[in-house]
Amino acid sequence: MHRLRADVSACATGEGMVLLDERSGRYWQLNATGALVVRALLEGATPEQVAERLAATRPVTPERAAADVTALVGQLVRERLVSGA
C-alpha cells in the first residue's frame, strides 16, 4: 500500500491536486488524472487496479493506462513523496 510520507502534504485543487514536500519546500502539481491515481493508491488500490479504472473511465488503452500509472508511481517514489510498494 502506498502512503504519502509524513512530511508531504496533499491539497485538492480545482484542477487536480498539489503535493508539498515540506522537507524541500517543493510543490508538485497533478492534473485531474494524476490526482485520481494518487487518491486511489492512497485508498489502497494497486497500480494495476488504478490502471484498470483509468482504462474503463477514460479514453485510453489499458496498456497506455498501465504505462502512465507506472511512470507516475515511479516518479513519486524517486522524489520520495510516497512510501510503500
CATH number at residue 17: 1.10.10.1150
Contact 37, 17 (CB under 8 A): no
Cβ neighbours of 74 (radius 10 Å): 11
Cα–Cα distance, 4 to 19 (Å, whole number): 9
d(CA 1, CA 62): 22
* 84 has pLDDT over 80: no
Let me know: does 72 contact 37? Beta carbons within 8 Å. Answer: yes
Amino acid at 64: R
State the chain's maximal CA–CA distance in angstroms. 37
The domain of 71 spans: 3-83
Whole-model pTM? 0.89
Question: Residues 14-56: pLDDT tens digits?
Answer: 999 999 999 999 999 999 999 999 999 999 999 999 999 999 9
Tally of structural domains, the chain: 1
Q: How far is CA 46 from the centre of its chain?
A: 11
